[in-house]
Structure 1
Amino acid sequence: MSIDAITVSTPIYQLADKPIEQRVADLLSRMTLEEKVAQMVCVWNEKNDKLLDEQACFDPVRAKSRFGHGHGLGQVGRLSDAGSNMGKSFASGRNALQMAELANTIQRWFIENSRLGIPVIFHEECLHGLMAVDATSFPQPIGLAATFDPDLVREVFQVTASETRCRGGHHALAPVVDVARDARWGRVEETFGEDPYLVATMGIAAVLGLQGDRSFQDGRSVIATLKHFAAHGQPESGNNCAPVNVSMRVLREVFLYPFKQAIKHGKALAVMASYNEIDGVPSHANRWLLRDVLRDEWGFEGIVVSDYYAVRELNERPELYGHHLAADGKQAGELAVRAGVNIELPEPDCYKSLIESVDAGLVTEGNIDELVSPLLKQKFQLGLFDNPYVDPEVAQQISGSEEHRTIALRAAHKTITLLKNRNQTVPLDLDKISTIAVIGPNADRILLGGYSGLPRFQSTVLKGIQDHVGTSAQVVYHEGCKITKGGSWFEDTVVPSDVEEDRRSIAEAVEIARKADVIVLAVGGNEQTSREAWMGNHLGDRTSLQLFGMQDALVDALVELGKPIVAFLFNGRPLAIGNLSEKADALFECWYLGQESGRAVADVLFGDANPGGKLPISIPRSVGHVPCFYNYKPSARRGYLFDDATPLYPFGFGLSYTQFEIGQPRLAHSRIAVGESTFVQVDVKNIGKRLGDVVVQMYIRDSVSSVTRPIKELKRFQRVTLEPGENRTINLEITPDSLAFYDIEMNHVVEPGEFKVMVGDSSRDSDLQTTVLKVVE
């Protein structure tokens, strides 16, 4: 047979040299309604019954009994947790080689046993590294945001993408670009903080890291998913999934901004709708949000995925809640389709009824085609029709490699934020210390935070210090008290520690610490006290921001010894740490540092690394100060009776072991026309004796405007490393986007007038110097 004859007989969608648009159109034209709907559903926990046997190995008999109709399947969720107790732990999860082999087996079966040979997509959780056995675990996003280093964030997510793709994964449910404006909310750790510009910048970097150039030809990139669309980060009362009550202007300028920027500049290919409602309309049924804004206004051409079980919640999710926009699951599916949700995650549920809805004329097949086409397009973009399999040996080599471990350590170093250093207590000098007491409930605990797997390497504070010190000093240890009993992110029930047991333990810790020259105290929260509240029996939001349990009592008891205390905080949300802040000699905010926690802490503690992190979210004095974000309106912080209205530590704040001098900002052009750009120059000098990093931050305020504006807004920043005595001139661009806002008519404009341009190393007024930019018609 001639080549021409083969070409004629081969369907266009199977020809790799044809344009993707033609291949999609050809494939769609050949599909039955049943096959189209099959592309709009996924299996996750159900894979254990429908695809796998009791040993979590692929079972062709089970697969045939469920998918023998040949219609295919859209996605399989999280092969990484196959056999791991319904996603409740990773004790029996698959390592890299096993996961890649399983992915190949399942993929081959669907290609060979669906009528049209359509491959499946495997999606994975990739919040701060692939959530899997032996994958590299990086700092939580709130920690990555503290680096103020988008190049590093891009590198972190490049590693995440490569470790995901080499195992057979294609679609990352990350990054989270919610703006966190309520510290009571348990998901703060998953975000890049409280500032929309910082969140957008880090979100763009994460998307570029995950997706690469979007050609996917190197087999190292995956689809990125922006979460959670929209306004998920300021829920009513700080309760996860609660309604978000904000104005249209705040919605657009704060909560939609990072999504818009990550789509415009990062070219994100997927968006996940959020659980919450805005003005009475849940996101999964919000046609204005998902169609008018996302697609028509922003030109988004990717896919919208549902959050887990969120389509069902448009009706009623048993044992949780329901929005009651729909009378049943069938109607919920119809609402989601009309709103523009392409695929229902994580299990076949409401979308199973779409064929019935089409037959009844409640949804058209054209509606289905519109949503299925982008799903097919992405399978072609990923190259799954032409090269659907991965090399398990490569997966084993890449996952958790030493090269990736080095990046994880660098990210942890850059995350650590020094908040206090009385009398230059740190770094510690081992020549002057014979005994170090390592005390606290977080001192000998693996702390990764939510959505974490089991990395190949893990390190605690105690182990890191012991390894670093060796025989140079004696290291003694005591837990001091507990935060909760157990404490795993996966454990539903949170059991507070026993007060009497803690009192006895504190007394023992004091006796241990009495022998030491210095106390290293590791306190804060754990994966239970701040986490996603996904069910009524699995909560993580709080009404208090105080240190949980008896930790403050531990602090008070240790202070009585009169020894220097160096405190390290590990936590997923800002905590009201006034007592600790007052009494510790040195204080570090670590958030969750990832697999290299102990190594990073030890390097910073003894001066091998110089802390340079900055706070991506303000630390309030108490829960009564919430919200305490820095970019508030002029009337918002008049004061409190018997208390200070300022945060305990402000957004953008962080110290160093060296000192920096930031000069007066100079505008390249102090007068520009509307629509023009300029830049501000500032000289930065390291006037200390150590190599160190400083984050130069530029804030802007419109002095007089048609609607009220925040007192300051971050618009540019740059992290700079300087040698002792080194001076550098930094240029920070001011574009029309830096000055624009939604005016009284809700038009996005730059209004003529004066703008205060403030430059410094934190958002605090005393850390900023000001110049004035005039904008004219």
Structure 2
Amino acid sequence: MRYLYTSLCFFILIGCAKKESDSPAYKNAELSVEERVSDLLGRMTRQEKIAQMYCVWNDKAKFLLDSTGHFDIEKAKKNFPNGLGQVGRPSDTNGGLTPYDNALLTNAIQKYFIEETRLGIPVFYHEEALHGHAAKGATSFPQPIGLAATFNPDLIEQIFAVVGKEARLRGTHQVLAPVVDVARDPRWGRVEETYGEDPYLVGEMGVAAVKGFQGDGTFKSGDKVVSTLKHMAGHGWPEAGSNIAPANVSERVLREVFFYPFAQVVKRAQPGSLMASYNEVDGVPSHGNKWMLRDVLRGEMGFKGYVVSDYYAVRELNDREGLFGNHVAATHNDAAKLTIEAGVNIELPEIDCFRDLDSLVGAGFIQESLIDELVGKMLEYKFRMGLFDNPYVDAEKAKAYVGNAEQRVLARQSAREVITLLKNENNIAPLDLSKIKSIAVVGPNANRVLLGGYSGEPVFFTTVVDGIKEKAGDKIKVTYSEGCKITTTSGWSNDKVEAPTPEDDRKQIKEALAVARTSDVIVLAIGQNEQVSREAWAANHMGDRTDLDLIGRQNELIDAMVSTGKPVIAFVFNGSPLSFNNLINKVPVVFECWYLGQEMGGGVADVLFGEYNPGGKLPITIPRSVGHVPAYYNHKPAARRGYLFDDVSPLFAFGYGLSYTTFELSVPRLSSGSIKMGESLKVAVDVKNTGARKGDEVVQLYIRDKVSSVTRPVKELKDFKRISLAPGETKTVELEITPEKLSFYDINMKYVVEPGEFEVMVGTSSRDQDLKKVVFTVTQ
């Protein structure tokens, strides 16, 4: 009996071992990601590998869904028997899915690829998440140019942790954010998507955003997503401010300005993905630039993720009919070859120039070893995200979390921290609820939903007039008048942009004047809307500007409001800097708001009535006119000599922003007056709140190399810290200068610290009058 039992156990163990050995190694979660990728690649046919380099977006309706927008398994079997790399933006199906339905759809599609294809390779879903998941029901935070005004990386990390979780719960694996382009031309319509003009600030914000999205990079928590850095490189300084135009910069400028944020984010946050830029540098479009994507990005910077193409950019290496072509590739097949050899792993958003990869590889036109390299990296992230082991999401959790009331607290705080006070004559702001009886809320942006580009449809939204009415309650009479229009059309994605007639605008100005005359105070909401400064992605969808003035009859509206003799408080909403000289000259109180997200009205009201003391700072220079462009602060010594009949200084400088209170900074103290090359030093400064209100101040540290082998900027931001102080309170802020912050590309294009004197400038903006200076020496 014992023999029979022992024999039975033996055969059971043999059977279990055989069953275990039949299970492929790549499905064994105990193995390393590298081992699993290697095993899976070894089992894949060429067709299965190439399928991983395909993506569908709009074509998902044709290839994956039925006429009602539900998953169609027969279509999937017909079109993707070998698997599929990515599906773009499932959230936009049928004009926009709820979080619950979004999760159901991603699960249904995933189930096919896991259970019905030969190897069961899961599909990746990518989405836009510039300042919130661009989907129905998601929380919408301020635009990045506004978030940069907070000078608060901790807040940015918190925000994008929420954004990533909202996206992940719906089934998303990868987000096409953040944008770490350095914006050097305010005419460019995509300024709103960036963190401003300074490479250091952009880098710090980019690091924070990626850490928010990816956490510790293990993705084990199940609520993180792969982050995609955009767009490498030079995209933020297009010729003539025209989107995707050439970036006419030297290698030194490219490395020190435009590569810098990418290098920082790659080194410190290890993003899983990166998107190449549409533009060219030195005649080479980025999607075909081996030096940029292989030598610099992967070699020098140490990038370990995968590169995605920008939408339809591979086609543009040849020709994009109706738009333009770079004509560095004779055919779409040649474009595919250039892109793959440059190191782009997948073509977005549709199966286009990569369509014929199977035959091209079979004919030896493209090496299969390149396919293995590029596909292997994308498989790695599918394993790292846990999709082979836990591929589905919980629709009920998505429904409960996404866009709920809890997220409004963070959205409101972010709106408050963005708002930047530019002018406050006679301390008119904040308003005292007990001292006024009526407010006229006037302007084209007073009662308008303003989210900016790449936005979703939040559950909640408060306009300026709604926020003021809610805060005022029954204590104050609040009346509203539009005053004039910026456009008669609306919508960031709407191709059609129409302007109002002068007659219609002037009729509205008269109506607003009548309303304003009966009120104690006028709140003016003006600026831009999403149609007049936006991504210009097609010949019939423009968004770049030839001037920076307020559009339409807004200056006439300003003059009319000022003519009443009543106090006027202006809130400016915009995606890019505006040369609002008339406003600044005539209106006593002006706030720069950018786009504040879904809690716009609440944030404005909190600041207007003094519940929150504004502490934002400008992340980009506001020039006096379009003729002052470029106007960025960290220019070379010979760049701002002066103009005939005009002031060369900006209207408002980078880093500038006032408060309802006042601050006093001590002379900065250095931990050492002299350091050796390779050493660091500390800079300490005492900050005192000398006013009567609690407030935030951003202490900014700038550096200048006094004598160098090549010309250096007059000043460069190298550290900053936002602090909060009670009235009379003093805090000591410690900032750091490291060898990297002193390094630059010398006369021989070596990245070095040169010995000599360095000027340290610490203060509250980049203006000389707001800075206190000390000098230290670097010795060999």
TM range (shorter): over 0.9
Deviation at 1:625, TM superposition (A): 0.5
TM alignment of 1:291-302, pairs within 5 A: 291-302=294-305
For the 8 Å contact 1:37–1:352, the answer to whether it is kept is no
Does 2:637 match 1:655? no
Does 2:15 match 1:7? no
Letter of the 1:652 counterpart: G
Letter of the 1:284 counterpart: H
Letter of the 1:58 counterpart: F
In structure 1, list runs of 5 or more residues that go unmatched. Answer: 85-92
Does 2:211 match 1:198? no
Deviation at 1:447, TM superposition (A): 0.4
Cα distance in structure 2, aligned partners of 1:576 and 1:702: 32
3-state SS of paired residue (2:434): helix
Letter of the 1:241 counterpart: I
Cα distance in structure 2, aligned partners of 1:634 and 1:724: 39
- Percent identity reads 60
For the 8 Å contact 1:236–1:242, the answer to whether it is kept is yes
Could you report, residue by residue, the CA deviation over 1:383-435 in whole angstroms, capped at 9, with x for unpaired residues? 00000000001001110122211111111010000000000010001111111
2:647 alignment partner in structure 1:
644
2:3 alignment partner in structure 1:
none
For the 8 Å contact 1:122–1:168, the answer to whether it is kept is yes
1:568 alignment partner in structure 2:
571
Does 2:46 match 1:33? yes
Cα distance in structure 2, aligned partners of 1:62 and 1:551: 53
Could you report, residue by residue, the CA deviation over 1:734-770 in whole angstroms, capped at 9, with x for unpaired residues? 1001111000000000000000000000000000000
Cα distance in structure 1, aligned partners of 2:651 and 2:75: 57
Cα distance in structure 1, aligned partners of 2:429 and 2:345: 53
1:73 alignment partner in structure 2:
84
Does 2:541 match 1:538? yes
3-state SS of paired residue (1:558): helix
TM alignment of 1:355-394, pairs within 5 A: 355-394=358-397
Cα distance in structure 1, aligned partners of 2:731 and 2:39: 58
Letter of the 2:724 counterpart: T
2:603 alignment partner in structure 1:
600
Q: TM-score, normalised by structure 2?
A: 0.98
Cα distance in structure 2, aligned partners of 1:73 and 1:224: 20
Deviation at 1:200, TM superposition (A): 0.1
**Pairing partner for 2:516 from 513, 517, 520:** 513
TM alignment of 1:40-439, pairs within 5 A: 40-67=53-80, 70-84=81-95, 93-439=96-442
Cα distance in structure 1, aligned partners of 2:79 and 2:360: 22
Cα distance in structure 2, aligned partners of 1:458 and 1:194: 29
Cα distance in structure 2, aligned partners of 1:613 and 1:6: 63
**Pairing partner for 1:556 from 538, 556, 559:** 559
Letter of the 1:82 counterpart: T
3-state SS of paired residue (2:685): strand
Letter of the 1:61 counterpart: E
Cα distance in structure 1, aligned partners of 2:77 and 2:51: 15
1:442 alignment partner in structure 2:
445
What's the RMSD between the two structures over aligned residues? 0.7
Cα distance in structure 1, aligned partners of 2:747 and 2:17: 64
Letter of the 2:118 counterpart: R
Deviation at 1:558, TM superposition (A): 1.1
Deviation at 1:5, TM superposition (A): 2.3
2:531 alignment partner in structure 1:
528
1:633 alignment partner in structure 2:
636
2:37 alignment partner in structure 1:
24
Cα distance in structure 1, aligned partners of 2:118 and 2:317: 33
Letter of the 2:338 counterpart: L
Could you report, residue by residue, the CA deviation over 1:341-367 in whole angstroms, capped at 9, with x for unpaired residues? 000000001111111211221111101
1:89 alignment partner in structure 2:
none
Could you report, residue by residue, the CA deviation over 1:647-698 in whole angstroms, capped at 9, with x for unpaired residues? 1000000000111101100101110001100011000001111110000000
For the 8 Å contact 1:459–1:599, the answer to whether it is kept is yes
1:87 alignment partner in structure 2:
none
Cα distance in structure 1, aligned partners of 2:103 and 2:210: 23
2:703 alignment partner in structure 1:
700
For the 8 Å contact 2:489–2:496, the answer to whether it is kept is no
Cα distance in structure 2, aligned partners of 1:358 and 1:351: 11
In structure 2, list runs of 5 or more residues that go unmatched. Answer: 1-11
Deviation at 1:331, TM superposition (A): 1.0
Cα distance in structure 2, aligned partners of 1:596 and 1:458: 6
Deviation at 1:55, TM superposition (A): 2.2
Cα distance in structure 1, aligned partners of 2:627 and 2:724: 38
Deviation at 1:61, TM superposition (A): 2.8
Letter of the 1:230 counterpart: A
Cα distance in structure 2, aligned partners of 1:360 and 1:280: 30
Cα distance in structure 2, aligned partners of 1:645 and 1:362: 56
Deviation at 1:259, TM superposition (A): 0.2
Cα distance in structure 2, aligned partners of 1:481 and 1:626: 28
Cα distance in structure 2, aligned partners of 1:65 and 1:508: 62
3-state SS of paired residue (1:430): coil
For the 8 Å contact 2:270–2:304, the answer to whether it is kept is no
For the 8 Å contact 2:421–2:659, the answer to whether it is kept is yes
Could you report, residue by residue, the CA deviation over 1:229-252 in whole angstroms, capped at 9, with x for unpaired residues? 001000000000000000111000
**Pairing partner for 1:614 from 613, 617, 620:** 617
For the 8 Å contact 1:244–1:277, the answer to whether it is kept is yes
Deviation at 1:502, TM superposition (A): 0.4
Bigger radius of gyration among the two: 2
Deviation at 1:63, TM superposition (A): 2.1
For the 8 Å contact 1:48–1:83, the answer to whether it is kept is no
Does 2:479 match 1:476? yes
3-state SS of paired residue (1:528): coil
2:7 alignment partner in structure 1:
none
Cα distance in structure 2, aligned partners of 1:514 and 1:730: 47
